[in-house]
Chain A
């Protein structure tokens, strides 16, 4: 499953946001994602991809940045697991 799909499903369930309205350039502010919801979203990604992010997650401006951060952290976590 792609990270964007996970984000879309989560926000659709929680905020009833139309998945099509969630694009890489959509800002977190537009989606009304506050710090609490961001922590939940990160947790959801960890659960869905069966990883745990070991370091603090920087605050992204938009969904595209969030996807980059999550994908980077997933790769790091999987590398650490293999190592």
Chain B
């Protein structure tokens, strides 16, 4: 049986740049950082970090008060991104009746789940001395809450699955959703991820790990510097991103705009260390994605790197790219958009896949922001710096996600072409 093709037909996002994916991407092309200094004023003492905070996100306006009042912030963001993507795909939302489409499903990523719900509960008990929690706490807090609500709201009767793989959660969710369509198990999958790491204890935990970029009010927007010799780490970000994946002929038959084709997915484990990335594992994941797509490294025109701006991680990823591309490595455009939209944890793979899709669609590759000098350990690829790389004719792109725990997930996209 010939594998079915998978089209990307809708995009949605929750970021400091709003809910519109194209408008956010336009700002990424301009090299605009969304990073700002963020404070959570909680006892025993406030914590302040450069972060991605969606200060203007209005859940009541985005998803309606009844839903907003019964969901965690991460789920509110997930729903907002999915509603936006659904609309972007030209699909109509019917009233929730319980009648779902058994051919449509959801495949969602979250590394952290409903952090704010659990933290509020702990605070109520241990700080405020309450011995009872609201009865909705369980269903607000469950790790598959986002997928569940997405499924109910959009009438998705196929799989409703949640993937938890740290920073590769969303990439895995997109890849697994893609496989369901390609293998004939679904015709449409709502895929992506959401996370809200801006909870007091989560910020404290990352702070303790000493991998968070530091900065003050003025320097915060420029503090995340992937591949730079002075890089000091990642920036935690809250948000969500959605890609509507659809069987190619199904999308064409209904006249949908096809933004790109998802042609390959590779996932594997480093099986070596909990946090230290492994070049061989990363190369293997990229090769698996390319093999799945029937492509070779020579076909790749752009890589949206995992690029978290950690000292070790960036150098190892560039080493992996040099290994994969060989003599051609110096010609392959690479950028780390985390420098601008931050590290969305379980949603990172989704916002980066979304950016990769739009990069191919618009033939405009976003830069790595804040990169005026390249670390010798990160040289050997064509870093996109100083602005977008336009009209490169890029046809094939990889979106890399390499997670704590050793889980690697790589997505291969191709510019939408009928063939």
Contacts and interface: CB of A to CB of B under 8 A. Distances in A.
Interface stretch (A9-17, A19-27, A63-71): A9-17
B65 interface: yes
Given A40-B134, A43-B134, A15 B139 contact: no
Nearest to A39: B135
Nearest to B60: A16
A1 interface: no
Contacts of B44: none
Q: Name the residue in B65, B132, B135 with the highest tally of chain A Cβ atoms < 10 Å from its Cβ.
A: B135
Contacts of B136: 36, 39-40
22 contacts: A13-B65, A13-B69, A14-B65, A14-B66, A14-B69, A14-B70, A15-B65, A15-B66, A16-B65, A16-B66, A36-B135, A36-B136, A36-B139, A39-B135, A39-B136, A40-B134, A40-B135, A40-B136, A43-B132, A43-B134, A43-B135, A52-B132
Nearest to A16: B65
Contacts of B65: 13-16
Interface residues of B, number: 9
Interface in B15-70: 65-66, 69-70
A29 B41 CA distance: 42
Contacts of A52: 132
A16 B69 CA distance: 10
A14 B69 CA distance: 6
Contacts of B132: 43, 52
Interface string B120-138: 0000000000001011100
B128 to A, nearest CB: 13
Contacts of B69: 13-14
A63 B155 CA distance: 30
A9 B149 CA distance: 25
A16 B134 CA distance: 20
Interface pairs A-B: 8 shortest CB-CB: A39-B135, A14-B69, A16-B65, A15-B66, A43-B135, A40-B135, A40-B136, A43-B134
Nearest to B65: A16
Contacts of A14: 65-66, 69-70
Interface in A26-73: 36, 39-40, 43, 52
B72 to A, nearest CB: 15
Interface in B135-188: 135-136, 139
B140 to A, nearest CB: 11
Interface in B314-370: none
Given A15-B66, A16-B65, 14 more contacts: A13-B65, A13-B69, A14-B65, A14-B66, A14-B69, A15-B65, A16-B66, A39-B135, A39-B136, A40-B136, A43-B132, A43-B134, A43-B135, A52-B132
Nearest to A43: B135
Nearest to A15: B66
A7 B65 CA distance: 17
Contacts of A13: 65, 69
A43 B135 CA distance: 7
Nearest to B131: A52
A42 to B, nearest CB: 8
Contacts of A40: 134-136
A36 B139 CA distance: 10
Contacts of A43: 132, 134-135
A43 B139 CA distance: 15
A14 B67 CA distance: 8
A15 B65 CA distance: 7
B43 to A, nearest CB: 24
Contacts of A16: 65-66
Contacts of B134: 40, 43
Q: Name the residue in B65, B66, B136 with the highest tally of chain A Cβ atoms < 10 Å from its Cβ.
A: B66
A79 B70 CA distance: 33
